[in-house]
Chains A and B, each alone.
Chain A
């Protein structure tokens, strides 16, 4: 039975744009691990997300239906033969954000798929986390993702993280027509069937990007994770306008010729928070007295806590996402269905760009789950993700200003982000030129034995990863005229990044108006919940 709460609409479909007036309530926005409550200038366009789509009433039924009625392939049961070798690849902890409440949808998919495999006489099954050059997931994280029963049955010999640096663990296939290296996990390459279980949080994910990116190595990623490709990508979220996706598609098609891949893609709604922080899902106009009380209580509690405890607290808030669709089958037709469903949830039509765009910067990004949003990740959130949450046309005008709210503390997690520390302290003071950084230093970091060791044996991101973070911000950097870090608690982090800083949001808006003119248009993107602007010019 569908719980009653899922039937409740938080607000109307059509009221996702609010123009601030005199007397409009102040807006709640993330300021790292804190909240700011700020009055915005009259005339500011506040862009709110669509309300969460209703979840499917029975997730397991939806999964069964999808694998029995796949797109462009035979049903999964018809692909199975006794004795065959199967690899099930899974999206890693970077998806979804915040991490979802248990049972994770990956667990639900696995419970059905593994039972089907066992019933079909398929015993040689490995579960591989498609973490590419991301950090290895910890044992506890792996257990949480698939549930205790599956974990106990498969971990550690048959449930493990992909190792992009295992010299014996990668197989190179033929190159693409553009001479791009195609390399994938040996176990996957040598399997009779690969089943990829995906969670699609935003349209950037899934499709050919799943196997071709998640199960590959540094040499293959270089084909598209580079400064030029990113500069030539108009939007990460609109695959048809993405040079990045064109490259992953070419690579994916080569993989599909060599390996039989059955995709199971899932979409979730944007229900990112619930009580006691359910107010984050509401427009301020809809706040009750109790919501305001909770907000003030949270703000007070956060003001008394040290930052590590605040982080701990936020990372213990799991998202009550609901599954809105399950699609299965061949890569491209399956992903097409996924994208359609994804846009239904996230797309917010907006008329025209803005001179100034304001984002509240949350505590989490895809690369710091259970860790610190370090300066490089603040950069990738501002110029990589938040800037790119659009369907081909950026919300901010060319030469415009992005303002984000974050303390920009100079803190790094040495366990997760060891190479970031050197990148930030040694390379960025020398140059911020992505091309130069790539040419001069990327390979040195990627091959650094210490960083490779920390990636393979510890829980660190690969030595090449801080470069990817910098490239990810590249088209944002090329597009905007100024970035202002409102509330940055020091001068040197914004200075190294090439940003301005102010103490308050009002000062940041004043500075931005000074740059763009007094009549500059302002948009505030109210995230959470997540949304993507569909800008019409």
Chain B
């Protein structure tokens, strides 16, 4: 399993015969999002004072998160991941399996595994492409049987999170870039590949592949899917 957001180098000029299925995660395969994951870490911060401080700050910021998410996913990510500042790496890594068991696993949509299995039977590499942090998504990727995970990576200095994400931030148009790089590196045909997302913010990723599909789509994506005759799935 790779965790690099970008492929390191283009591969040879071999014909691209393979195909992949790229899955957005939040809202597509699971009903939770990055805020739930952070909330879990905040509530397990280790001290009552820390829990209270992070919990209250998060609550107070929720309206702002909501607005930023609607306005610009990139700014939202940059702002949101600042909340991680000061959390220790070992605690985050220790808690990620608990986070998966307690929060993420129950939130997996009932039909998500079927779709992933079907993609594998169709000969696709299964790749999760998410704006969430890699350490929160690793157990999910293992659980779903994904071949690769492309996720955001938190910067740590001296074992503590700086609140900055190592660029490029995986969101919006950058998702299209990273899957192009991924296909280049692995000899995969973009035209034969599939992409699945619930949000119009992933429009760039969906249009980068030959077989886009809207999954549990928001209103904007549903309208786009209807306009472009993309299939619409419901995994809930």
> Which A residues lie within 8 Å of B114 (CB)?
453, 456-457
CB-based contact B231/A418 at 8 Å? yes
A-side interface residues, number (CB < 8 Å): 20
Residue among B111, B114, B233, B234 having the largest count of chain A Cβ atoms under 10 Å: B233
> Which B residues lie within 8 Å of A456 (CB)?
114, 118
Check if A156 is an interface residue, CB within 8 A of chain B: no
> Which B residues lie within 8 Å of A449 (CB)?
21, 115, 118-119, 121-122, 124, 194
Please measure, in the bound complex, the distance between the C-alpha atom of A453 and the C-alpha atom of B213, giving whole angstroms: 11
Main secondary structure of the interface of B (DSSP, over half): mixed
Measured CB to CB, the closest approach of chain B to A2, in angstroms, equals 48
Check if B232 is an interface residue, CB within 8 A of chain A: yes
Check if A316 is an interface residue, CB within 8 A of chain B: no
CB-based contact A425/B229 at 8 Å? yes
Check if B211 is an interface residue, CB within 8 A of chain A: yes
CB-based contact B233/A454 at 8 Å? yes
Check if A421 is an interface residue, CB within 8 A of chain B: yes
Measured CB to CB, the closest approach of chain B to A110, in angstroms, equals 30
Check if A479 is an interface residue, CB within 8 A of chain B: no
> Which A residues lie within 8 Å of B115 (CB)?
449-450, 453
CB-based contact B213/A450 at 8 Å? yes
CB-based contact A458/B226 at 8 Å? no
Number of A-B residue pairs having CB atoms within 8 Å of each other in the complex: 52
CB-based contact B231/A454 at 8 Å? yes
> Which A residues lie within 8 Å of B21 (CB)?
449
Residue among A421, A450, A458 having the largest count of chain B Cβ atoms under 10 Å: A450
Considering only CB atoms, which chain B residue lies closest to A165 in the complex? B118
Task: For chain B, give the interface size range.
Answer: 20 to 34
> Which B residues lie within 8 Å of A454 (CB)?
231, 233
The residue that B211 contacts in the complex, of A421, A425, A448, A453, with Cβ under 8 A, is: A448
Indicate whether A451 sits within 8 Å of B231 (C-beta atoms), given known contacts A457-B111, A457-B114. yes
Measured CB to CB, the closest approach of chain B to A77, in angstroms, equals 41
> Which B residues lie within 8 Å of A228 (CB)?
none
Check if A306 is an interface residue, CB within 8 A of chain B: no
Considering only CB atoms, which chain B residue lies closest to A460 in the complex? B231
Measured CB to CB, the closest approach of chain B to A533, in angstroms, equals 38
Check if B123 is an interface residue, CB within 8 A of chain A: yes
Considering only CB atoms, which chain B residue lies closest to A451 in the complex? B231
> Which A residues lie within 8 Å of B122 (CB)?
447-449, 452
Measured CB to CB, the closest approach of chain A to B63, in angstroms, equals 35
Please measure, in the bound complex, the distance between the C-alpha atom of A451 and the C-alpha atom of B121, giving whole angstroms: 13
> Which B residues lie within 8 Å of A3 (CB)?
none
Among A410-434, those with CB < 8 Å from B are: 414, 418-419, 421-422, 425
CB-based contact B231/A167 at 8 Å? no
Among A443-468, those with CB < 8 Å from B are: 444, 447-454, 456-458
CB-based contact B211/A450 at 8 Å? yes
Interface residues of chain A, those whose CB is within 8 Å of chain B, are 165, 167, 414, 418-419, 421-422, 425, 444, 447-454, 456-458
Interface residues of chain B, those whose CB is within 8 Å of chain A, are 21, 111, 114-115, 118-119, 121-124, 192, 194, 196, 211, 213, 226, 229, 231-234
Q: Kindly list 11 other residue pairs between chains A and B, CB separation below 8 angstroms, not including A444-B192, A448-B211, A456-B114.
A: A418-B231, A425-B229, A448-B122, A449-B21, A453-B114, A453-B115, A453-B118, A453-B233, A454-B233, A457-B111, A458-B233
Q: Could you list 10 examples of A-B contacts with CB < 8 Å?
A: A414-B231, A422-B229, A449-B21, A449-B118, A449-B122, A450-B233, A452-B118, A453-B118, A456-B114, A458-B233
